[in-house]
Structure 1
Amino acid sequence: MSASVSMTESPLPPLRGRVQRDAPLGAATWFRVGGPADWLVRPADVDDLLRLLRRAEAPITVMGAASNLIVRDGGVRGIVLRLARGFGDVEVEADGVVAGAAALDATVAEHAAAAGLSGLEFLSGIPGSIGGAVAMNAGAYGAEVADRLDWAEIATVDGLLRVRAAELRLTYRRSQLPPGGVVVRARFHAVPGDAQAIAARMADIRESREATQPVRARTGGSTFANPPGHKAWALIDAAGCRGKVLGGAQVSEKHCNFLLNTCAATAADLEDLGEAVRAAVLAHSGISLEWEIRRIGERSA
């Protein structure tokens, strides 16, 4: 794929899905910031996606539910791929759930609970979709995707692959997808459980999120990964950054591993505040925090 394509000609093959040029992205992100994509593509189905991967003539950036994402103010060059209709089915089996990449994590947890299957309750506490959860081995409340994933179907330029969980080498907030691979479906194993106990566990998770995280604000997920042996929020708090403000961005007072768009933040405000927090933590503790939030695109000139 070429690195640059004139905006006067399309880098896309004929597709059956939805294609938008100069497509706004900010409103689709939880932070509500960011510039446009040169091209935004929502494939109709797996065949459409495979055609795009094989024949596109510009770089492809995958965008999921955008719950843990900053789109930079200058927008994203090339093609932004977003899976939507055709990729959101959830199928409940006797000992697990098969879910499309666009299915929300919480929706998968709810399907499992309705079927009396236990083990996937933790997904109800993770904002985002299944594709992103697999790609980053998402986790919360004492469990992570690696604990429950059986396999993932991944679209590549060479076709559709079914990859066992062990082959993805899942580690803390990381997986090793095939180069250029896009998760389209995944299976999670679960076990029969008591419906009331499952419902109670999910209610506890919801209450905990409400009590400890700024879930009703313009925010993303956890900003930084927890360093080995440490909690990112505690390091940020100890460095004096709780409530820190830069432009329209703020470190949450409620949970200081969350950044907030208080009203009129730019993507640069959020990213620069995050970097200021990293610098403060490094100076205070000697620990370098790693971004957990993805940042894509270009900064404004």
Structure 2
Amino acid sequence: MKLISENVFLKDYYFYRAGGTARYLACPETAQELSGILEWRRKKGVSYTLIGAGSNVLFSDDLFDGLVIVLAGLNRWIVRSRQRVICGAGVPLHCLIEFTALSGLAGLENLYGIPGSTGGSCLMNAGAFGSDISDNLEKVEVLDSEGRVLTLSRGEIEFGYRKSSLDGYIVLSAEFLLKYADPLSLKKKIDLTASKRDEKQPVESCSCGSVFKRPENNYAGTLIESCGLKGLRIGDAEVSEKHANFIVNKGNATSLDIYRLIKYVKDTVYNQKGILLEEEVKLINF
């Protein structure tokens, strides 16, 4: 099938810029292409995994002996009708927020700067500064495991902290209901949000964003820093000096370097603080 490539290096397809190869890789741009790829997979009987923009995943250095479907280019369009915005899954979240802000529609601006696609953000219920993407979500269009296109309303989806019941579906598009606001004020707000991220997070480095979810009544970064782990390195993987809940690739880190550092940090926090951190990053093929 011409949409599917073989023996592809994975480092060009996700933020960490590490990892091995995929036996097969496909980058669909339409739901029709995606359906064809999934049908090819079913006939071949190969395993598969899905990634969006690749902002919260880590592949091992080994061969992924299956199909990697990259959804970053899927349905890259945005449609507005008054206070409603419908956005294709592959649209980068920051592009959606810039569009809504310029359109004078408020509700998503606290999420500005979160890396990743709109579809992936819905799947994991991305959030920041007291807001989650589910706060303004009205419905999503998804592809189910049988290849059927379904529309799910907000009430049919369960959302939690960095998770949702959309896991198991492929998000095709999402519809948001927003509030009218002054575009200039919204522009200032997203600029302020961006500057806060630049100040506190290593946005200039290759990372997956927050490695660990926030534990109850605490912060992963605070716990990691209090264990004296800032700046700790294994190979070219480093616990960021800027924000301890980020592990960055300083140049040539292998996935094993990053994985070992994740495990070391997790074990150290548990041994010293008695708190078991839960990974927010999705570990694939380990």
Structure 1 Cα separation of the partners of residues 20 and 167 of structure 2:
28
> Paired residue for 1:167?
156
Residue 120 of structure 2 is aligned to residue 124 of structure 1: no
Tell whether the 8 Å contact from 2:22 to 2:68 is kept in structure 1 after alignment: yes
Structure 1 Cα separation of the partners of residues 74 and 136 of structure 2:
24
Q: Deviations over 1:182-225 (max 9, x none)?
A: 11111111110011211111011010011000000121210000
Structure 2 matches for 1:1-301, cutoff 5 A?
Answer: 14=1, 18-56=3-41, 57-156=45-144, 157-177=146-166, 179=168, 181-298=169-286
Tell whether the 8 Å contact from 1:49 to 1:155 is kept in structure 2 after alignment: no
Q: What do you get for the CA RMSD once the two structures are aligned?
A: 1.5
Structure 2 Cα separation of the partners of residues 287 and 277 of structure 1:
11
Tell whether the 8 Å contact from 2:123 to 2:167 is kept in structure 1 after alignment: no
The 1:44–1:102 alpha-carbon spacing in structure 2 relative to 1, beyond 3 Å, is closer
Structure 2 Cα separation of the partners of residues 145 and 153 of structure 1:
15
Tell whether the 8 Å contact from 1:149 to 1:188 is kept in structure 2 after alignment: yes
- SS class of match (2:66): strand
Structure 1 Cα separation of the partners of residues 175 and 243 of structure 2:
32
- SS class of match (1:151): strand
Tell whether the 8 Å contact from 1:89 to 1:103 is kept in structure 2 after alignment: yes
For residue 178 of structure 1, report the CA deviation from its aligned partner: 6.0
For residue 42 of structure 1, report the CA deviation from its aligned partner: 1.8
One-letter identity of the residue aligned with 1:239: C
Tell whether the 8 Å contact from 1:119 to 1:191 is kept in structure 2 after alignment: yes
- SS class of match (2:207): coil
Tell whether the 8 Å contact from 1:109 to 1:122 is kept in structure 2 after alignment: no
Percent of residue pairs bearing the same amino acid type? 32
**Unaligned regions of 5+ residues in structure 2, if any?**
none
For residue 95 of structure 1, report the CA deviation from its aligned partner: 1.0
The 1:168–1:53 alpha-carbon spacing in structure 2 relative to 1, beyond 3 Å, is farther
Tell whether the 8 Å contact from 1:148 to 1:189 is kept in structure 2 after alignment: yes
For residue 28 of structure 1, report the CA deviation from its aligned partner: 2.1
Structure 2 Cα separation of the partners of residues 230 and 86 of structure 1:
36
For residue 165 of structure 1, report the CA deviation from its aligned partner: 2.1
Structure 1 Cα separation of the partners of residues 74 and 122 of structure 2:
18
- SS class of match (1:125): coil
Tell whether the 8 Å contact from 2:18 to 2:255 is kept in structure 1 after alignment: yes
Tell whether the 8 Å contact from 2:73 to 2:91 is kept in structure 1 after alignment: no
Structure 2 Cα separation of the partners of residues 54 and 101 of structure 1:
20
For residue 84 of structure 1, report the CA deviation from its aligned partner: 4.4
Equivalent residues, number:
282
For residue 262 of structure 1, report the CA deviation from its aligned partner: 1.1
**Unaligned regions of 5+ residues in structure 1, if any?**
1-13
The 1:229–1:23 alpha-carbon spacing in structure 2 relative to 1, beyond 3 Å, is same
List 4+ stretches of structure 1 deviating above 6 A. none
Structure 1 Cα separation of the partners of residues 19 and 62 of structure 2:
7
Structure 2 Cα separation of the partners of residues 150 and 278 of structure 1:
36
> Paired residue for 1:7?
none
Structure 1 Cα separation of the partners of residues 162 and 72 of structure 2:
23
Tell whether the 8 Å contact from 2:74 to 2:89 is kept in structure 1 after alignment: no
Tell whether the 8 Å contact from 1:92 to 1:111 is kept in structure 2 after alignment: no
Structure 2 Cα separation of the partners of residues 277 and 267 of structure 1:
15
Tell whether the 8 Å contact from 1:60 to 1:79 is kept in structure 2 after alignment: yes
For residue 176 of structure 1, report the CA deviation from its aligned partner: 1.1
